[in-house]
Structure formats: structure tokens, C-alpha cells
Chain A
Amino acid sequence: MTDEPLLKVENLQTQFFTEEGTVRAVDGISFEVNEGEIVGLVGESGAGKSVATSSIMRLVETPGQIVGGTVTYKGTKIVDIEEGPDGQPRPSEEMLTDEEMREQIRGNEIAIIFQDPMEALNPVFKVGAQLREFIELNRDVGSAEAREIAVDMLREVGIPEPVKRYDSYPHQFSGGMRQRVLIAMALACEPSLIIADEPTTALDVTVEGQIIDLVHDLEAKYDTSFVWVTHDLGVVAEICDRVNVMYLGEIIESADVDDLFHDTKHPYTEALLQSIPRPDQTVEELEPIVGVMPEAINPPSGCRFHTRCPDARTVCREFHPTEQDVSEAVTATHRVACVKYESIGYEDARPLETEATDDFGSGLIDASGEDA
């Protein structure tokens, strides 16, 4: 492993400018992906996971805009936003143009796998032809050779009778098989990094197991790195080396997978772990997190989790936590953004009187109060 990470995301900010106001969907996230590593991006719906990945790929569409931050891939700045003379964000000179991004990065270097394979494949073209075209465009090979590579890739990802299935249409495949086609497509140009956006969420558990095993094999074989976006902590435990937990546009905890589950620091991560039923043990009472995630259009002041946090105190409402390094071992970094780990008077502050801290009932009553 080299010193430089494969992908380095620094203070990335993406906002959506809507009629109701500015949605700060991704609000200053930073993380790294090293070679051969599977890095998880975990959170509930609305946390900003998918916006984060499409920002890295520069696939954000209006009214969305990347308004700050830098993404460096193998030393190249694929996103680099600076403040212009008029105070507006603008791309720096080092940032790749759209054309360079399309020709050099997407597909060749970084591939993306989406949640819904039916939407990612064109229903009116044969699967093999779609795969072949993609290989032809990205690998600079002739049609016949591309076809051979395509069939090999289909076999590689475990599609039975690949020669025959090359001529099938997407609707003739099952969901799991379609997802395999997308994985084949992502792998076809031997990228160094694959961004997988909830790739197993729509699949059955036995199929999900097959795909996870496949990814493990391919990771070992091609030494590909992954950014794995999911809401499923079971999948995280199964597949990831390191994990970033997102809440309302921010990364609130970042750790090695074992530390995240067994040395949990952030109250949100803790609460999330407590709220899921377990397949391997009987849990009598689940402890849900009260309320729902507030909207990113008007996030709570201070720590964004304070409205639902069981440990919230008055300081949490006033101070926005900064990321603290709480690593114990030298090798594994463990960072957390929680006021508890800062010395700004959490100890002396009074507990906030919210439903979360008082621990009564469910907090659904005020949950959607504003939009009535």
C-alpha cells in the first residue's frame, strides 16, 4: 500500500437550490479509500449517501451543485472547488473538465453500480451488446475482441450459459442476474475503484449472499477498491474494512469495522445498532431512535443529532462538534464528531429536555410539524 490513498475526499459540499430553500445534502464530508479496501458509507435514507457518491463521480444534476471541497483520485483532482472573485464557488484550474472526466475517469478508473439494475440497463438492447459496446468504448478494442471479453466477464460473475445469455434482453434475467451483469460491466474495464450504491438492497438474502461472496472473490483477484453505500449494518459487518457513518449530510463517525461495532463512540451509531433486530439472537425489546431524521433544508443547530440523541445536553444545541481523533491503536484511525469528546463543557451542561433524553414514548408527534 502506498502512502497516498487511492481516493481522498476533503470537505466535500453539495447543495440543492430549491424553491423552498437550500438543501445542504452533503455538508463537508472527508474520507479516504486506500488500495484494495472496501470502505462503507452507511446511513438512513436522507443522510446524503447517494448525493455523496454522485458528487465524487460528478454526476450531480441541477438544481444540485458541488459548492466546495476537493476529491483527489491518484493525484488527479477530479473535484476541486475554490471561491471565485465574486464570492461564488467555481472549479479551480486543476479540476478535470467534463470531457476529461468522461474519457479518463468514469468507467476506466472509477465505475459505479446502482441499486436498481433494471434502470441501469437499457431494456431494448441485448445485455451482451450493451456490455460489448461499453468495452469497445473504454478499452479501445475491436468488436470481436470486445465480444470475447464480454462473454468472459459474464462467466466470471457467475452467469450460467454465458454464450447463450449474451443474446438475452435485461427482462429475461432475474434481479440477481441483472446485478451480476452490472458488476460485469463495472469490472470490464478493470477500474481501480468501484462505487457500489446499495447494490444488494433490492435482492433476496440468498442472492445477496451470492453477490457478497462474488465481490469478495473479485476484490481478491483484481485488487479493486470499493466504496460500498448501504443502510444495512449486517452487510457492513460482512464486507467492509472501514466504515463512515453519515447523518444528515455529515460523517459523524469513521472507524475500522470492528471498532465501529465493538468500540462504538457516537450516540447515533450506538442507537442505530440498538434499533435493529438480530438474526442470530432473540432480542426482547428493540430500542428505536425517537423521531425521524430532520430535513436537510433546515438542519438543527449545533450537533444535528441533538434532537434525537439520548445523551443530548444544552451544549449540544449550541456547538457544532468538530471531528475528534479517538484512535487507541496507532494503525487504525477512529474519528468521531460528538461534543462528548471535546472539552467545551459537556460535563457541566444540563441534559436537554427532549423526548429522547426523557426516554418516553415515541417522538413522532412533532416529527413532521413544520410542513403542515
Chain B
Amino acid sequence: MSETVTHRETAEAGDRLLRVDGLSKFFTQGSGILSSFFDNDVVKAVDDVSFDIRAGETLGLVGESGCGKSTLARTVLRLLEPTTGSVYFKGVDLADIGGEELRSMREDMQMIFQDPQASLDPRMKVGPIVEEPMKAHDLYEGEREERARMLLEKVGLDPQHYNRYPHQFSGGQRQRVNLARALSVNPDFIVCDEPTSALDASIQAQVLNTMRDLQDEFGLTYLFISHDLSVIRHISDRVAVMYLGQLVELAETDELFENPEHPYTEALLQSIPVPDPRASGKRGVLEGDVPSPIDPPSGCRFRTRCPKLIAPAEYDFTQEEWAAVRRFTRAVQRRTFEVESETRVRHEFFPTGVPGGDGGAVVERAIEAILDARWDDAESLLRESFADQSPCARELPEYEVEAERGTGRHYAACHLHADGVDETGGELDG
């Protein structure tokens, strides 16, 4: 071992192995001399994310496509340079080190990718593939083949397969080769980016079970990324939920699934199809698409789709009135209806009449604008009067809530947990 690594702490189970502190990764679009003269749109792929991973645990990271999961994973391993923030691995800030020191640090941090086919060189035999990281790190000189065969067996392959090519294996087996390669340098920490997403159900179960067994045997710590909440629930000790570049909730697995405290997590959980026709869950479906990460909504990024958006304090809406106004605002924004007659519009959105007061007056003006076919006016009027006035639009939410299950911390980024806020939300729209 080189002397650069001697100051590393050895992590005991339960100790903090990795700390991510205020990590951001922005991408600028366009490169070259010309585009540098113009204002470039900045894509905030990961924006101010902080969390810990303890030695020996599996932290699940879940979110929809495009939310920044994979960028976060790559930035944590410093495969991408972070824009701001720090990643401490065994107490060492990875941003401070570089070159040889970082390279030797990578011995302890490995990654497994989603596509088992694309991450294996088709012209190399499986044995040398598994030996490659050992060569790169100058480890196990003289016993590499033996170790490769041992690892192939550990991951559930035949050691005789040492001389085969990747194409001779099925998808599940290829992912096992990837596991063996990651394990070859005896790492402490493995980032798994959707490792079972390309596999069939029965094969996925085999690979997940193997990953758990290996975790016990080699004392591994996983950061496990997936869009599949069932897989996340099965494999994780704690779960972080990501939306549009930020963490919205982080808690122990049971706590998160049984007692979700963020409306986005709730919506995600409600939209998974349960493999049981008798399951009678309330199904709520989120409206609309994820906004662009170039110009994300202010305050809470989920607010544009949130079914529990908090009413602005300056209007005196009842819960039902606010729900109707919110639904109307979003329908106007998305142009989801056609104006046939004024009564139809009123009946559709305000069957019991438009609310009174200042708020009601705004709604009346918006309806007028729509009847004149001035949709853009109606949209901006409603947005400026209501959506932009909500507390959700003003501040970035960050709250710790009390966990109902287990003893761990429960982080939920939702203003509903601020003191003195009633749940004016209610049922999901749509």
C-alpha cells in the first residue's frame, strides 16, 4: 500500500463511511469560443444535496428519470467534478485530492452500471475482465487468476467460465461478472446504478439475493440507485427520494414506505402498481411532467405539481375553495379544457360558485380573460396571484420530522411540516 493512504481511517460497521455535503453539479450547454460570449443555460442536475452513508448499510436512491440520480452517483465518486460542495470518504475530502491519491482511493470505491452488456468489453474474456482492476491498482500480483476464479464462484458463476467471452452469458450472468470485477480490488463501497433494471423478474431476484449475500460476506456498503420502488424497498436500509436535482425525503426504509412525509414520495408510492388485484390502495396520479432543470421552480421544486400546495396567506380560502382554485389554475396552465360556454367552465371548476373576497375577484378576472381567449393573460394572472404567493414558492423547505417507526432521522423537504401550517391540501388532483 502506498503511504498516501495510510492516514485513512478504517471504517467500523455503523460508522459514517461517506458524507456528502452541499453537493451540486451544474452543466452548461454549448461549449467553444462562440457560446462563451452568450449567456448559457445552466442545467442544475444536482443542487445542494447532503447525506451520509454508514459503513455496512445500503442507502437506496430513488427518483424518476432525469431527476439527477446518476449524476449524483458519478459526482460522489468524482467521475464528474462537483460544481460546489464536498464528498468526504473515510474522512478525506475527495475534492481536495487528485491524481495518484484519488486513483488509489478509487480502489475502495467501485461502481456497477445498468447495462451489463455495454460495460463489458466484448473482445476480452471474462477472467481478464475481472483481473483488470487488480492490474490497474497493482494488487494481488501473482494470485490474480486464482482470485478471479474465486470471485466468479462467489458471485454464482462457474470458475470454469474464466475463459469465456461476455456474449456467451445471459444478462443476469453478465451483471454477475460486473459484480465480480467490482469486488476484485476488495472495495468498501460500491455505487450500483440501476443494476437490475435490465433484467427479468426471476433473474432480478437472483442477482439481488447475491448482492445481499456478498454485502454480508465482504462487509460492503452500497449506494443503490433505482427507479423501481419495490426493489428499493427490498434492498435498502435507508432510502433517499430525489426530485429535480434535490433530495425531498430521507428516512429508514420502513418509515419512508409506511409513513411518507413528503407529498412527492406519497404520490410515487401511490402510483406503483401493486402485484395483487385485491390491493385496495387509493390511487392518486400526479398531473403533468417534471419541469425543466434549467429553470426549476422557486422554493419547493415540486410545488408546480404538488397536490398539497399551501394556500397563500393573503387570501381567505377554505380548504375546498383553495382546492378548486388550485385545480383551475393548473388546468388553465396546461390548457386541458376547451371553452364552450361560461356556465360550463364555472360548472366544471366551481360547481358551488366562485369563492368570494379578493381571491374570488382574481378568479373572476381569469375566467373573463379565458372567455376572451386571452389564455396567456389568465395564466399569468393566476400564477402571479396564487402560485407565486404560496409559502411553497418562497423558501426552500428543509425539515426534520419525528419518525414513527425505527429510531433514525427522518428528513422531509416540505413546508407542511413548518409550525403553524395546516394541511390545506387534501386529495390528489385529477
- A-side interface residues toward B, CB under 8 Å? 44-45, 155, 158, 160-162, 164, 174-177, 204-210, 212-213, 231-239, 257-258, 261-262, 271-273, 275-280, 282-283, 285-290, 292, 361-362, 364-365, 367-368, 371-372
Contacts and interface: CB of A to CB of B under 8 A. Distances in A.
B79 to A, nearest CB: 24
A282 B253 contact: yes
Contact of B173 (A161, A231, A235, A367): A367
Nearest to A209: B271
Contacts of A258: 277-278
A235 to B, nearest CB: 5
A289 B172 CA distance: 12
Interface string B272-283: 111111110101
B156 A231 contact: no
A46 to B, nearest CB: 8
Contacts of B270: 209
Given A44-B201, A283-B234, A208 B273 contact: yes
Q: In this complex, which of B202, B205, B253 has the most chain A Cβ atoms within 10 angstroms of its Cβ?
A: B202
List the 6 shortest-distance A-B pairs measured between CB atoms, nearest first: A234-B273, A209-B271, A288-B205, A277-B234, A160-B334, A289-B202
A288 B234 CA distance: 13
A268 B341 CA distance: 57
A278 B253 contact: no
A290 to B, nearest CB: 8
B234 A286 contact: yes
Contact of B269 (A44, A231, A279, A286): A279
B169 A368 contact: yes
Nearest to B159: A365
Contacts of B235: 277
Interface residues of B, number: 58
Contacts of B272: 205, 209, 234, 279
Contact of A288 (B168, B202, B257, B283): B202
Contact of A204 (B205, B208, B227): B227
B161 to A, nearest CB: 8
A203 to B, nearest CB: 9
Q: In this complex, which of A45, A162, A364 has the most chain B Cβ atoms within 10 angstroms of its Cβ?
A: A364
B289 interface: yes
B233 A282 contact: yes
Contacts of B335: 160-162, 164
A368 B173 contact: yes
Interface string B199-214: 0111111101110000
A102 B273 CA distance: 36
Contacts of A285: 209
Nearest to B234: A277
10 contacts: A261-B277, A271-B202, A277-B231, A277-B234, A278-B233, A278-B234, A288-B205, A288-B209, A364-B176, A367-B170
B285 A278 contact: no
A286 B173 contact: no
Given A288-B204, A290-B206, A364-B172, 19 more contacts: A205-B64, A205-B272, A232-B273, A233-B275, A237-B274, A237-B276, A238-B273, A238-B274, A272-B202, A276-B204, A276-B205, A277-B208, A277-B230, A277-B235, A282-B234, A282-B257, A288-B202, A289-B202, A364-B157
Q: In this complex, which of B229, B234, B277, B334 has the most chain A Cβ atoms within 10 angstroms of its Cβ?
A: B277
B100 interface: no
B289 A176 contact: yes
Interface string B140-170: 0000000000000000111000001000111
B398 interface: no
B254 interface: yes
Nearest to B289: A174
Contacts of A160: 288, 333-336
Contacts of A287: 205
Contacts of B200: 44-45, 231
A290 B335 CA distance: 51
